[in-house]
Structure 1
């Protein structure tokens, strides 16, 4: 029984994509050795920083927009940085103009997708630049973001480079906030290292999201992507699905490529709102595109099945545990029930421990080892409770997605002022060692 729980909760996808990722890692190491042995070979980098536009959509982000612009300005000329204020009522526009970058001030909140589309058309970014980088207003780019992110575009088949997300080094002032941030960072590490790395293998190409917080698109492909499709609360899932549906090309992802930092919510209200928005956007995109033939759609079907099954299993564990406890109390008083024996065969507490809690904690141990942060081992004891919360939000969003059509109008979560230096290294261990959350 515990094997069944483990497979359902962790998913076959984890085993599948981790295995593919191992093969990809071995192949890349061999190619790297060959390249080192022939160091005179051309790196093939055809896109220069001067050919890159950086576009930031912002709604009431005056607390962080200056640092984001400064981060971008360290990589490209100021004339290559474009800010679209989506109906901001604070000082976002003033701060952006003071930084001497190009600003489009939209009077009404159109939603992030609508704002991006308006700016791309207004500034003619697809015509003027080879690559367009999309950033959130709280994103900080690593110093080598372009140095690592542009070379993949030397392959004409690459249409997008998915940014590697790491939680911002800006700490939360509360213990619970630091716990929430650590939980999100564990999620990022597990998904990107054990899933996305394998999904982005050249022969596979089934990455399901090019995150809108910091990713690059070949500008020639933007005209073929329906960026502001109606009825969606977020844009990045839809843009990624468009790449696959229209067979525009390959999505590149590597843990050491295009690293950027994002602020995750550090309070319960903002966290639940953000997770609900992401899940709702995923299901709305699935509703819009449906499923088709092909590798990506098969991988998506597997992902959907495992997300639903694992969420339902996690949510059912709570009432099952209560019923089991009631049967145990009844047995203490010699009260027999025909259902007790049947239920005991289905719900085995030992199986929960071995099949749910221990595998979940193994993921925490993995992240603690990768980041060299032993605090994960303490915080990880409570992570299963967060997974229960996520499962509830996921199922709620699934149900509502088939009835709710969103305008895309957005409200950013609370921001923490950004003052810390962003590291330039792309080494996962080094980043977290020096800038642990």
Structure 2
């Protein structure tokens, strides 16, 4: 069938401003104890901590065995071992059940995850403090201080994306030991205290960069994902009418065609053409034609009703409606509803109310028919039916026979 004039040229979609490396810094949100970090960050924390579940226990057992602490200080050695075994067991249970915990209550999952390494650090600090002041354990003091420093720096960096652990780890690992040093009031102890404070400040400052880098990248990633979704939507949307464009509906048609053919269902197509649209453009101008197309598109979308139905601008003043799982009777009902909705429109151009009508070609195909034909054949049948509706007087529906 001959196509009549279009509704004016479509404006090009606005180009989105995608963040670049020179974009201003993204504000980093500060997370409190009761804040939800988000499932992605929680899974990342669990992944980072999984390899360290038994590290504290093995480090302690290595030192205790090397310096014969189970014989020299059995109460301290066995007590610390029992505590670390208990914490490691709980950490292992938390790790194995973490996905379920996140699904149930992400805030409590985060809190449970944060408490475990802090308790490990606190236990190590208490043992190191005993070694500082208790003669039977003094031989292991230097090794414990070295391990405590390494654990403090490593765990703070590894878990820096959670500010509770980032701030809590230096406090729990270094705090009790520093307190014991200060109480001693010896010059050497005060110097050691100063070195620990400098070390703690360094670790906190360094971990601040890790925290900021992670959450800045998360913010950037979320922003880029949103922009990508917007660009995807723009690429699938007709800029004038806001409905799907031909590229999108053509892709959806092929997908539905394959699904319908596989499942043996029915698929219906409606080809809608605005009657005498060229005369609207010629008499009132392209802006009036664009107004009519926008209102007609809205009327068609409002008449489709199901979320699976797709209304698209096929070209010019033509629209293609895709109706999955729809037979000929139901397709005719939808077509009639659309015809009446368009006929009820009164686009206002200045002080003039326009009357618009449409003709609709309907085709319904089954899986067996699809086995021998492609989507283009169905569209051609709908176009033939539309031509019949135009020939028979317009403002009517014609159903193709397959």
- TM-score (normalised: structure 1): 0.23
Larger RCO: 1 or 2 (CA < 8 Å, sep 6+) = 1
More helix by share: 2
TM-score in terms of structure 2 length:
0.24
